[in-house]
Chain A
Amino acid sequence: MNEFQTILADSVARLMGHEVDRHLLEAAETGAFPDKLWAALEANGLTRILVPEAMGGTGGTWSDARIVLSAAGKASAPGPIAETLVAGFLLAQAGITPPEGPLTLIEGELTLANGTLSGTAKHVPWARAATHGVAMVSRHGASQVLLVPLGESRAGEADNIAREPRDSLTFGNVAVQAAATALPENALRLYGALARACQMAGALDYLTTQSVAYANERSQFGKPIGKFQAIQQQLAVLSTQAAAAGMAASYGCASADKAGEGHDPAFEIAIAKIRADDAAGIATSIAHQVHGAIGFTYEHALHFATRRLWAWRAEYGAGREWAKWLGAGVIARGADNLWSDVTAR
């Protein structure tokens, strides 16, 4: 981390500590938008890190965004932080100045004709709270980024298992702003996956810290359970999984920062999501095991992180989807190119 990033990490951690508490998490789960948290994030320019200064953003990098996303993931911060960052990134890459306020990402069965959008989309994060969403369409390999006003399109509300809003949208000839982009046609899913990987790395960090703290507090058989070797060994595994997911997320972001200049970051981004998914399975299982029954209650905060991990690992492509893509590419390139491909990047 450079000096700016160290300061950023400190201030974001402080902001999350101030703004995110149990009350906010519970309120968000019943549908309340986290207005005060959002205002604090916006006031610090943290929702527009990936938008250049000329477009009213902070002009930061993916490596900077990772710090915010991981801190948000660590705090289980509610709200479309990741979605707004990615939406801002995609719009800016296509030369569209992002509008104010929370934004969302739209994936669905969509068609663009004469500047109007039709189709349906499911599982759209926080659509009920966003004025606009970003979608992508492509024809003959040429991608377009769309800025979509949500207005009348809201067609139903639903939640993922983390009780984060994942709404349905229906578009009937909605006028949108469209712009061509050099981004690949799956850019929304790709950068969505990178953002989720960063959030997951943060949530995994939380699981480590929280589980170690609990193991030192909770006593059975006359001593803290953390003194039992079986528990120590499990927590060691949890921590190494979190470390690996964190490394993969950092590497994915560093690669995203090199995009353009003849560099395609999809390889590292896929790796970030695959590694986060694999870590999530192991880490959530250990964290819950160490916490016993109390960790299975709504009362205890552990589930805010574990339910997010279970939802996020499947969003913007589960590890399996990215692994299939990565593996197919590796096999097609052939055994003798693997090492040179890995070291050339």
Chain B
Amino acid sequence: MQTFRFDLCELPEETKGLRNDVRQFLARELADVPAHLRALTWSGSDPAFSRKMAAQGWIGMTWPKQYGGHERSAFDRYVVIEEMLAAGAPVGSHWIGDRQSGPLLLRFGTEEQRQLILPKVAKGECFLCIGMSEPDSGSDLAATRTRADKVEGGYKVNGTKLWTSGAHRAHYMIALFRTHSDPQNKHAGLTQFLVDLKTPGITIRPIRDLTGHAHFNEVVFEDVFVPDAMLVGSEGSGWGQVTAELAYERSGPERYLSSFILLVELIRRLEQEGGSEAEAEIGRLVAHLVTLRQMSLSVAGMLEAGENPALEASVVKDLGAIYEQDMALKAHEMIGAMPAMGDGDAFENVMGQITQISPSFSLRGGTREILRGIIARGLGLR
């Protein structure tokens, strides 16, 4: 039995120049950003930064030129995003559109939808969010209740989306709605829509998370009209489309680099303090980091080759989340410093940030238990 496939995938030599360009850009742009803000990585957003990245041609890199893309390889894109994450760039504004919604529209969207959205996304002027979860539909995504009922020329939407990251700053939502109810088969009857968040009847309420900041939202739909032209893919195919989308969502470098800034600040601290116990822990953390990077690259290679590494993507995300969370614990065990809210030194501030956000690493994008369920199915246990 070959359980999973993780072939080595080496980044092409040509990506080196690009990597240097990105580093120079980041050295310039992030010079004054303190470590605890960089620790937010893709949860941190800054529309001005997104526009600067777009000006470099680093959003929508792999998309066709006719949609504002740059027709670069998936490896070029990989290099850009891993550099952004490792440096802690505030990539949150355009992240969803670039990673997920753009590729979704290229695959399932209509010509009109692509023309409407993709060029603006690639310019860093249009931001998207993902409306999947609801109050009663978290892990059990097929329990989606928000209804889109057929009316003349479109659909009328009623219901509530929850935990929608960035909805308060986004222009559009890719939403999963129920267009048909069949209690016997809840996976059928789900449909994806491209929703203009300025449409009357939509109320977006930011929800403060435990750090005190509002990144995610409740989005209420009351008799919201969504035109036929904004249906993505085909009616009733939402489940399959969402599943395809999640392979992109689960394997990228953001799945093991969320705590990277903490590792950097931890090492900086140890440069002074030293200690042989610490050396072994740092060695382990680096060994796991490098292994995860190779696994993530391997999945990127399969995506580039047009294969479907959904299972391997779940493996990377599960191992990555354990790793990212372990980092905060290890740093605490090794140093024991007081985590701070911006008034400590760089290490203490980053500890404060990562310690607080680390529970989300194994929730967002599919919980640990759901991922392990997918892996168990891959093993032939379910």
Contact = CB atoms under 8 A, between A and B. Distances in A.
Given A235-B376, A331-B270, A331-B271, A240 B291 contact: no
Interface in B1-15: 1, 3-4, 6-8, 10
B160 to A, nearest CB: 29
A224 to B, nearest CB: 9
A54 interface: no
A327 B264 contact: no
Interface stretch (B171-179, B230-238, B277-285): B277-285
B19 interface: yes
Given A232-B382, A270-B283, A320-B280, A237 B372 contact: yes
A232 B279 contact: no
A240 B319 contact: yes
Nearest to A229: B373
A39 interface: no
A246 B281 CA distance: 21
Contact of B86 (A270, A322, A330, A339): A339
Nearest to B266: A335
Interface string A236-248: 1101101110111
Interface string B252-280: 00000000100111011011001010111
Contact of A327 (B265, B281, B375): B281
Interface string A284-328: 000000000000000000000000000000000001101111111
B195 interface: no
Interface stretch (B59-67, B105-113, B134-142, B292-300): B292-300
A143 interface: no
Nearest to A339: B86
A236 B318 contact: yes
Interface string B341-352: 000000000000
B284 A327 contact: yes
B242 interface: no
Interface stretch (A157-165, A187-195, A271-279): A271-279
A43 interface: no
Given A327-B278, A328-B279, A338-B264, A242 B287 contact: no
Contacts of A246: 6
Interface residues of A, number: 52
B6 A236 contact: no
B279 A336 contact: no
A119 to B, nearest CB: 28
A209 B281 contact: no
Contacts of A233: 369, 372-373, 376
Interface hub of B260, B263, B267, B381 (most chain A Cβ within 10 A): B381
A182 B82 CA distance: 36
A228 B264 CA distance: 41
A254 B280 contact: no
A109 B281 CA distance: 29
Given A209-B1, A232-B381, A1 B7 contact: yes
A335 B265 contact: yes
B96 to A, nearest CB: 25
A233 B377 CA distance: 10
B380 interface: yes
Contact of B284 (A268, A319, A328, A338): A319
Nearest to A340: B23
A271 B265 contact: no
B293 A342 contact: yes
Interface residues of B, number: 53
B263 to A, nearest CB: 7
A322 B286 CA distance: 11
Contacts of B373: 229, 232-233, 236
A248 B375 contact: no
Contact of A336 (B264, B283, B292): B264
B341 to A, nearest CB: 22
B379 interface: yes
A232 B376 contact: yes
A243 B263 CA distance: 24
A33 interface: no
A222 interface: no
Nearest to A271: B287
B251 to A, nearest CB: 13
A218 B116 CA distance: 56
Contacts of B376: 232-233, 235-236
Nearest to B270: A331
A215 interface: yes
B80 interface: no
Interface string B60-97: 00000000000000000000001000110000000000
Contacts of A83: none
A323 B375 CA distance: 29
A64 interface: no
B64 to A, nearest CB: 28
Contacts of A215: 381
23 contacts: A229-B373, A233-B369, A239-B3, A242-B3, A243-B6, A243-B295, A244-B288, A247-B8, A247-B298, A248-B291, A251-B294, A274-B284, A320-B280, A323-B287, A324-B276, A325-B283, A330-B283, A331-B267, A331-B278, A331-B282, A338-B263, A339-B260, A342-B293
Given A237-B372, A243-B4, A248-B291, 9 more contacts: A1-B7, A208-B3, A216-B381, A226-B381, A233-B372, A240-B315, A328-B279, A335-B271, A342-B286
Interface of B: 1, 3-4, 6-8, 10, 19, 23, 82, 86-87, 260, 263-265, 267-268, 270-271, 274, 276, 278-284, 286-295, 298, 315, 318-319, 369, 371-373, 375-376, 379-382
- Nearest 10 pairs of A and B residues by beta carbon: A323-B283, A327-B283, A327-B282, A326-B283, A232-B376, A236-B372, A327-B279, A335-B268, A236-B375, A274-B287
